[in-house]
Amino acid sequence: MANCIAWCWGEDKTRLKGAHRIGSVSAQTKAATWRTFVLGEVRADGRVHVQVIRDGVTVHTYELEKEEDKQ
């Protein structure tokens, strides 16, 4: 069973286009301009990694540890 889902949208002047993909291990995404890239990943256990790259240099990284088990 899939534990993760990635959604994406692309917008231009006249429409909004969307898609999604599901995965049992992780869901990843990439959004970019010519010089700036944002990479994101969420894993089935809740771990998160986000990275922002501009002109080939990582300018920000964000991480979360796995989710705690609900009791």
Kindly indicate the confidence band of residue 1, based on its pLDDT and cuts at 50, 70 and 90: low
The pair of three-digit structure tokens given for residue 24, joined into one six-digit string = 């049992």
Strand partners, 6: 21
Q: What's the average model confidence in pLDDT over 44-67?
A: 96
User: Percentage of the chain surpassing pLDDT 70?
Assistant: 94
Mean pLDDT for all residues in the chain: 93
Q: 55: which residues sit within 8 A by CB, 6+ positions away?
A: 35
Is the per-residue pLDDT at 47 higher than 90?
yes
Kindly indicate the confidence band of residue 60, based on its pLDDT and cuts at 50, 70 and 90: very high
How far is residue 50's CA from residue 60's CA, in Å, rounded to a whole number? 8
Q: Are 53 and 35 in contact (CB under 8 A)?
A: no
Residue 71 pLDDT: 62
How far is residue 5's CA from residue 12's CA, in Å, rounded to a whole number? 24
Whole-prediction pTM: 0.82
